Amino acid sequence: GDVYIESDASSGGSEMEAKRFLFLSAAAIEVAKILKIDILHCHDWHTAIVATLPKNKNIKTLLTIHNLQYQGIYPSEIVNKLLGTNFSGEVNCLKEGILNADFINTVSPNYAKEILTSEYGYGLENFLKQRKNNLIGILNGIDTEEFNPKTDKNLKANYSLLDIEKKEENKIYLQKKYFKETNPNIPVLGMVSRLASQKGIDLIKEIFPLLMKENLQFILLGTGAREYEVFFEEKKKEFPQKFWTKIGFDDNLARQIYAGADIFLIPSLFEPCGLGQLIAMRYGTLPIARLVGGLKNTVTKETGFLFKNYNEQEFLQVIKKALRVYKNKKIWEKLQKNGMKNDFSWEKSAKEYLKIYKKLMVTS
């Protein structure tokens, strides 16, 4: 019924969210018993509590952490009433999963290391350190059939490694539709993102006046915190020849940005994995990314541009570097092709998950 139709359940906190995901967790246990399931694969705080609930001794649990920031913290009265448990005080669902799951993984190898530190552990680093022998990182993948510039029906022109010059038709399409000036020599920066502090939006805001002084065009698609939405809507009016944004999400436009932009911005404060850079490289668009989380595992100097520290000076410097390199078409095309040759399909990642499943089966 209505318990499953409310909108945002990313962070945890409301009583309705508690009912929704605690009920789902309890139901998963019962289904596993009936169907004699061997492994319950839990994701984030939403089902992490499964690892603490009574179940058949042979049922093993794997907890995948996509974002440690969201932990699902509820009063014990709510949890106990729904699950028949005996918690006291506040219950941190993700913490309970970390302490009780048979095995834990994150969505990139580097993020698995980062969450053991106070900077990225969000108060759970000591509990994670207790489980570090049963914690690994497995990189997320993308559907390479769905995200394929050769066959993507959302594009103005399809292309591949063999005819990458056709990519420019998508750029011209973006310029004609959203900017007054159409010039293939002007680099187009693209960003498809949640408008949240995690995604480095504050850095974009800080450098925006200086960014608009550069010879470039910038197109942004996203939705999120209202303060960010208002900022970009105002800048769209202030710089109509250089900046365009759509507040919301539009899959068709997202694909056009991945294909039509020259550079893709992903200056995250933290990034467990990140999919934007994987899709961008698949489409021959070079990412500018911060050296953090899964970005560190996926973007190299052979496929994009990286900066280390979360500050506007370094971010602006790396953008200027990319703009300089862009003028050398031979080097730029080489970087594009390097990115397009990467294999970020699920095939390798799926094999890593199968290894964990087999390991858990042996110990059951």
CATH 3.40.50.2000, the chain: domain bounds: 2-141+347-363, 161-343
CATH code assigned to 161-343: 3.40.50.2000
**What pLDDT, in 10s, does the model give residues 148-206?**
999 999 999 999 999 999 999 999 999 999 998 899 999 999 999 999 999 999 999 99
pLDDT at 7 over 80: no
pLDDT class of 10 with cuts at 50, 70, 90: low
**What pLDDT, in 10s, does the model give residues 279-338?**
999 999 999 999 999 999 999 999 999 999 999 999 999 999 999 999 999 999 999 999
Q: What is the pLDDT of residue 194?
A: 96
Helix axes 201-211, 312-326, angle to 10 degrees: 60
Q: What is the pLDDT of residue 180?
A: 83
The one-letter code for the residue type at 18 is A
* Of 15-19, 85-89, 111-115, 126-130, the least confident: 15-19
Structure tokens that stand for 111 in this block: 């993020």
> What residues are paired with 221 via a beta bridge?
192, 246
Percent of the chain with pLDDT over 70: 96
pLDDT at 23 over 90: yes
Q: Which carries the bigger pLDDT value, residue 3 or residue 302?
A: 302
Q: What is the pLDDT of residue 332?
A: 99
pTM for this entry = 0.93
Q: Please give the mean pLDDT across all residues of the chain.
A: 95
CB-based contact 42:64 (threshold 8 Å): yes
pLDDT at 266 over 50: yes
pLDDT at 278 over 90: yes
**What pLDDT, in 10s, does the model give residues 45-100?**
999 999 998 777 789 999 999 999 999 999 999 999 999 999 999 999 999 999 99
pLDDT class of 109 with cuts at 50, 70, 90: very high
Place of tokens 């139901």: 27
Average pLDDT over every residue of 258-262: 99
CATH code assigned to 2-141+347-363: 3.40.50.2000
Average pLDDT over every residue of 224-230: 98
User: Is the CA virtual torsion 68, 70, 76, 78 positive or negative?
Assistant: negative
CB-based contact 262:238 (threshold 8 Å): no
Integer Cα distance of 282 and 189 in angstroms: 16
Helix axes 15-35, 76-83, angle to 10 degrees: 30
- Provide the 8-state DSSP code for 157: S
CB-based contact 116:122 (threshold 8 Å): no
Integer Cα distance of 186 and 289 in angstroms: 21
pLDDT class of 342 with cuts at 50, 70, 90: very high
